[in-house]
Amino acid sequence: MLGNVARHGEQGVSADVTRVVVIGAGGHARVAIEALADSGFEVVGCVSGDGGGVPGLPCPVLGRDTEVAALAAAHGATGVFVAVGHNRTRQRLQTAAEAAGLVPVNAISRFAMVSPSARVGRGVLVAAGAVVNAMAQVGDGAILNTRCSIDHDGVVGSFAHVSVGVATGGAVTVGDRALVGLGSVVLPGRTVGADATVGGGAVVVEDVAPGATVVGVPARRTR
Ligand SMILES: CC(C)(COP(=O)(O)OP(=O)(O)OC[C@H]1O[C@@H](n2cnc3c(N)ncnc32)[C@H](O)[C@@H]1OP(=O)(O)O)[C@@H](O)C(=O)NCCC(=O)NCCS
């Protein structure tokens, strides 16, 4: 059973939120919807940019994301989860939904491990197999994807994406909106700057500058 802090984040969100609308209707949304169910939320439906969705969504597509507040109200939802992979877009959509009065909630898989001493913001996905270890801090809107690990004292910035299978050592910092690509490794104590991209399979041995893209082993900046 997840406590309210894990479900609702650290910032005093009301525990009354039970019904949630999801922004996004793609494969990532399917993952998030299952994790939202694990976290005890009822997903009333999705919205998307064009009002369409991928096959196999376990809920209806209610309409376009521009009408999310009205559609949520019509279905009795006060919570929102933005299931969009692109970091800046996710930030824009979550900020707008919040301004419209919806409450971002967390989607935490029952197969994830979140330390009781970790701090988790709002609108965060912690997917199956992810580990958030002791004293880690995770910002609003972050994606901690399948089987990634944020080790002790790590910091993940707002709207960052730590991809499938990433391993971070202790006290690693991932900046706001950074993308740490599939299966990469970030050695202990290193910083991946805000808006940086770490390519899939890279091993980060030195700090990555904000906005930079690095690839390879050891990770080097691309031109
Ligand atoms: C690093 C990355 C952002 C580069 O994307 P891009 O700018 O479109 O680059 P391209 O595909 O045009 O490739 C440019 C060059 O970099 C090389 N390259 C691309 N990604 C690489 C990687 N991860 N490791 C090593 N080399 C890589 C390409 O082979 C190519 O080399 P060349 O110029 O010698 O032919 C991208 O390949 C990547 O790894 N993204 C991560 C995706 C991810 O993990 N998403 C999350 C899913 S959960």
Q: What is the CATH number of the domain that holds 170?
A: 2.160.10.10
Q: What is the pLDDT of residues 152-162, one digit of tens each?
A: 999 999 999 99
Does 143 lie in the same domain as 78?
A: no
Contact 203 CB / ligand 1 (< 6 Å)? no
Domain annotation covers residue 8: no
**Calpha distance 126→84 (Å, rounded):** 14
Residue 172, token pair as written in the block? 């690693």
Summarised one tens digit per residue, pLDDT across range 79-103 is 999 999 999 999 999 999 999 999 9
Distance from residue 203's CA to the centre of ligand 1 (Å): 14
Average pLDDT over residues 111-128: 97
CA of 198 to the centre of ligand 1 (A): 9
| Residue 17 pLDDT grade (very low, low, confident, very high; cuts 50, 70, 90) | confident
Q: Is 184 in the pocket of ligand 1 (CB under 6 A)?
A: no
Q: How far is the centre of ligand 1, averaged over its atoms, from the C-alpha of 196 (Å)?
A: 13
In order, the DSSP letters of 173-195 are EE-TT-EE-TT-EE-TT-EEPTT
Amino acid of residue 175: G
183 Cβ inside 6 Å of ligand 1: no
> Please, which residues have CB within 8 angstroms of residue 74's CB and are 6 or more apart in sequence?
none
The model's pTM: 0.95
Q: Which of 105, 133, 166 is the last residue of a domain?
A: 105
Residue 157 CA to residue 138 CA, distance in Å, equals 6
pLDDT at 16: 82
* Atom 14 in ligand 1: residue holding the nearest Cα: 222
The stretches of the chain forming alpha helices (DSSP H) are: 4-8, 27-38, 68-74, 87-99
| Co-location of 179 and 124 in the same domain | yes
Cα–Cα distance for residue pair 185/113, rounded to 1 Å: 19
Look at residues 166, 175, 132 and name the one whose alpha carbon lies nearest to residue 151: 132
